[in-house]
A and B are shown apart, each in its own frame.
Chain A
Amino acid sequence: MDLSLSTRTVGDRTVVEVGGEIDVYTAPKLREQLVELVNDGSFHLVVDMEGVDFLDSTGLGVLVGGLKRVRAHEGSLRLVCNQERILKIFRITGLTKVFPIHTSVDEAVAATD
């Protein structure tokens, strides 16, 4: 299965809906998408991972890279994920402390910290 990406704007947030498998082959597409959004001035991103079937460390690396980029512009990168097998990867790598992880897009869009 390939990676699917779609973006939409909700208020001042840009929601990136990701589906399929994020691995060493497909992660560069996600990286391109995030870089493009930041270059176009979208600094508050919500990455919706509900449709993701598989995520590996390459995908984590891309998300961390995205976070670094938006933070350089005082922006934010929030994740939406309820799938235990995906959440587990964030936990074992300690990235739950790095990313705000929400249970719904609405919650992520409303969050301000």
Chain B
Amino acid sequence: MATVELRFSALPEHVRTARLVAAAVARRAGVDEAVLDEVRLAVGEACSRAVGLHQSGGISEPVRVTLIEEEKQFSIEVGDEAPRSAPGDNAPGAGGDVDVEAEEDEMGLAVISGLVDDVEVTAGENGGSIRMSWPTMPPVTLLP
């Protein structure tokens, strides 16, 4: 079940906020300190990608970040509302430098797949999502 859900307007300046919130919740959930940098980077990449998809597709809906604390793992799902006719297709671009955008999109996914072992990318008519999971440590029991 979701512990924290965040929605933000598809603007680059809000991606940092999403990174900070995700890292704070991940730390609380018991994700190892050494992995928090990776969580921060991966969620930033996923959010940057979603913001790009919303902006190039002229979508006014917010980007959705769901932080899910489970028994032995912590998951982050970043959802966008950019429709794709087929998986892997980019949203219809509103002109601009299509090559550069596609390159940056690929680089973002490359970083995510390089960082996170457990990652699932889906895309469909109603938008796409990136779901990433990390193992958590058992909560530290405080000594009396």
Contacts and interface: CB of A to CB of B under 8 A. Distances in A.
Interface of A: 21, 23-25, 54, 56-58, 60-61, 65, 85, 89, 92-93
Interface in B1-44: 12-13, 15-16, 19, 37, 40-41, 44
A57 B114 contact: no
Interface in B92-132: 100, 103-104, 107-108, 110-111, 114-115
Given A85-B37, A92-B114, A58 B104 contact: yes
B110 A92 contact: yes
A90 to B, nearest CB: 10
Most chain-A Cβ atoms within 10 A of its Cβ — which of B16, B19, B115? B16
Given A56-B41, A61-B103, A92 B12 contact: no
A56 B37 contact: no
27 contacts: A21-B16, A23-B15, A23-B16, A23-B44, A24-B12, A24-B51, A25-B13, A25-B15, A54-B19, A54-B40, A54-B44, A56-B44, A56-B45, A56-B108, A57-B45, A57-B48, A57-B107, A57-B108, A57-B110, A57-B111, A58-B48, A58-B108, A61-B103, A61-B104, A89-B111, A92-B111, A93-B114
Contacts of B103: 61
A61 B107 contact: yes
3 closest A-B pairs (Cβ-Cβ)?
Answer: A92-B114, A25-B12, A24-B48
Contacts of B40: 54
Contacts of A23: 12, 15-16, 19, 44, 48
A47 B34 CA distance: 27
Given A56-B44, A92-B115, 14 more contacts: A21-B16, A23-B12, A24-B12, A24-B15, A25-B15, A57-B48, A57-B104, A57-B110, A57-B111, A58-B104, A58-B108, A61-B100, A89-B41, A93-B114
Nearest to A62: B104
Contacts of A85: 37
B119 to A, nearest CB: 13
A34 B52 CA distance: 22
Nearest to A28: B12
